[in-house]
Amino acid sequence: MCGIVAAAADKNIVPILVEGLKKLEYRGYDSAGLAVIGADRIERVRSVGRVAELESASADTASPTGIAHTRWATHGVPSERNAHPHVSGSIAVVHNGIIENYESLRSELTAQGYVFTSDTDTETIAHLVDQLLKSDRDLFRAVQAACRRLVGAYAIAVIDHSQPGRVIVSREGSPLLLGLGDDGNYAASDASALLQVTRKMVYLENGDIAELSRDGVRIERLDGTPVERPVHVSELSAAAVELGNFRHYMQKEIFEQPEALANTLEIVGGSKTIQPGIFGAEAATLLNDVDHILILACGTSAHSGMTARYWLEAVAGVPCTVEIASEYRYRTSVPNPRQLIVAISQSGETADTLAALRHAKSLGQTKTLAICNVPESAIVRESALRFITRAGPEIGVASTKAFTTQLAALFLLTLVVAKVRGQLGADQESAYIDQLRHLPVAVNKVLTLEDEITVWARRFADKQHALFLGRGRHYPIALEGALKLKEISYIHAEAYPAGELKHGPLALVDANMPVISVAPADDLLEKLKSNLQEVRARGGELYVFADADSEIPESEGVHMLRLPEHYGLLSPILHVIPLQLLSYHAALVKGTDVDKPRNLAKSVTVE
Ligand code: G6P
């Protein structure tokens, strides 16, 4: 995951930038860079490799104002030309996230004579700010105007050689906070980078822009309205992962999903196509004659696999089976050497998933792929191919951002397999990639429903049971919603494919059984609506998560929340978010230990 550190102080800040980057190393990266305001120009140092190399390379650089960055490009050779900061005229920029409209901006700026020297979307921001500075020399105004033109998820930091002593930062979707020091002011992706200089932190909100100078900070919204944000005094040790503004890690991790998705999808960059190589150098050869996919996983990871089955069969036309790892490892199965074994695991250390992978290999099935959040884990080491999700550390036992990033990875796998099998036209591929790229923004919009979901959570926190319904690719999302609720609120919850309702669970439905339904406008919506009628007719109270296009009227006993967008095949990624929030807020009302629910462990490394 990319990391940003920025500083405006009354002393040389290069050692602070470097130390800050070291603290962000845990996020993973493959190149690093910094830029400072030098005597007669921007001085930039970039290096492919470790921050320690950047440290040596910048040993002779000194300045009171600068920005720094770690970048993790997982596709192609990480190169110096793609490393941040990116420079245009007298300004330099570092950036985390994805700029969705970068192609149109790039064409516009190229037509104006700007020459691009990297493949990144970030360079667009540098040229855009430079261009806007021509009409208004004030860096703050220029960055503000530039941000108003950006579509996507980002955190940025900008310096201008002609305006020394100033750093402008802004965020939308990716994290960024300010650190208020005695001898200067700072910004970074997370607090751990700044504990070396201060404990006074200010968390920026989406749409905030801030100026740091040696003497202070000021914050505005992108429309120019000044705002104040509270100062938090961090009590954490430098080694801990910061909770920031949030009450629990689970809440923090739910809200980190736009960034986690943007980071995971960074592998696609600005491209209109994706290559098998994102799963490893041998992927093209290995996937070539795959005739079946077997997904092995536990818990939430199994639910991501179950969702992916709908994608893999519908888009890639490849048969797919999903099996709980603890079952597969012990049953007598029929091996198929042309089968791709996909092990999905947040931790990469889950004992049953690892054993199932080893069991599959022992049966002569060598085409193996790990989808995992921990690069150095056993499951990754023991698989032929790998895709590392970039969710960042997940502390809450109930998995949230690991799940949605797994889904993003599995959709990429679907596209790659479809391509290898000749099932994906170029237009369709590029349309799917655009949809993926928009995900961080779409998820941000869903997160704005938190207050309404809190009201719902209060309503059924005193219930003993809850039933979750979904159909098609949203059935696994109903399963995940039920799992989240039972894990952290201890309310007994079950999920059913809605068509199964009348084959048993309908007997349980009465006024004390809230029924939560995932109801996007897909081709099964009409059938789902009939199932919902069946619930209503038995006095069951319905809580329906519809989307912008679902036509379901609200009526007595039918509560409805609409997700802001309709998201087609990728809709499961959006629909799980309100279910995560619902469980979280129900657990808050019940006063349970949200991040460490009783009897459960984060990483189940024993059978
Ligand atoms: C535990 C965790 C779950 C997780 C499951 C699988 O039960 O509490 O959140 O989904 O293990 O873990 P993995 O690391 O393999 O995804």
**Domain final residue, candidates 241, 262, 280:** 241
Residues in the chain: 607
DSSP 521: S
Residues 91 and 204 both lie in one domain: yes
603 CA from centroid of ligand 1 (Å): 6
Residues 367 and 298 both lie in one domain: yes
Confidence of residue 379 (pLDDT cuts 50, 70, 90): very high
350 CA from centroid of ligand 1 (Å): 7
* Any ligand 1 atom below 6 A from CB of 596: no
Is residue 430's pLDDT more than 90? yes
Give the pLDDT confidence score for residue 74 in this predicted structure. 41
Residues 57 and 109 both lie in one domain: yes
E strands along 10-130, which residues? 31-37, 42-48, 65-71, 86-88, 91-99
Residues 231 and 261 both lie in one domain: no
Give the pLDDT confidence score for residue 26 in this predicted structure. 63
Q: What is the CATH number of the domain that holds 555?
A: 3.40.50.10490
Arithmetic mean of pLDDT over the chain: 92
The predicted model gives 206-223 an average pLDDT of 96
Residues 432 and 491 both lie in one domain: no
| Ligand 1: residue whose CA is nearest its atom 15 | 345
Give the pLDDT confidence score for residue 28 in this predicted structure. 63
Number of domains observed in the structure of the chain: 3
Within a domain: residue 599?
A: no
In the chain, what percentage of residues exceed pLDDT 90?
A: 73
Residues 199 and 347 both lie in one domain: no
Within a domain: residue 597?
A: no
pLDDT in tens, 481-504: 999 999 999 999 999 999 898 899
Is residue 357's pLDDT more than 90? yes
Inter-residue contact 80 to 69 (CB < 8 Å): no
Is residue 34's pLDDT more than 80? yes
Inter-residue contact 197 to 184 (CB < 8 Å): yes
Testing ligand 1's pocket by substitution, the residue of 303, 322, 603 carrying the most ligand atoms inside 8 A of its CB is 603
**Domain final residue, candidates 387, 416, 443:** 443
Testing ligand 1's pocket by substitution, the residue of 249, 253, 254, 301 carrying the most ligand atoms inside 8 A of its CB is 301
The predicted model gives 338-353 an average pLDDT of 94
Give the pLDDT confidence score for residue 242 in this predicted structure. 67
* Any ligand 1 atom below 6 A from CB of 397: yes
* Any ligand 1 atom below 6 A from CB of 300: yes
* Any ligand 1 atom below 6 A from CB of 345: yes
577 CA from centroid of ligand 1 (Å): 18
Task: Determine phi and psi for 398, rounding to 5 degrees.
Answer: -75, 120
Task: Determine phi and psi for 345, rounding to 5 degrees.
Answer: -160, 130
Residues 459 and 569 both lie in one domain: yes
301 CA from centroid of ligand 1 (Å): 7
Of 270-284, 513-527, 568-582, 592-606, which one has max mean pLDDT? Answer: 568-582
Instruction: Name the one residue in this structure whose structure tokens are 């098998």.
Output: 276
Containing structural domain, residue 351: 249-443
Confidence of residue 75 (pLDDT cuts 50, 70, 90): very low
331 CA from centroid of ligand 1 (Å): 21
Q: Which residues are catalytic?
A: 2, 602
DSSP 173: B
**Domain final residue, candidates 180, 209, 241:** 241
pLDDT in tens, 516-553: 999 998 888 888 888 888 888 888 889 999 988 878 77
Confidence of residue 240 (pLDDT cuts 50, 70, 90): low
Query: Among the atoms of ligand 1, which is closest to the Cα of residue 399?
Result: 9
CB atoms within 10 A of CB 453: 24
Residues 406 and 476 both lie in one domain: no
Is residue 15's pLDDT more than 80? yes
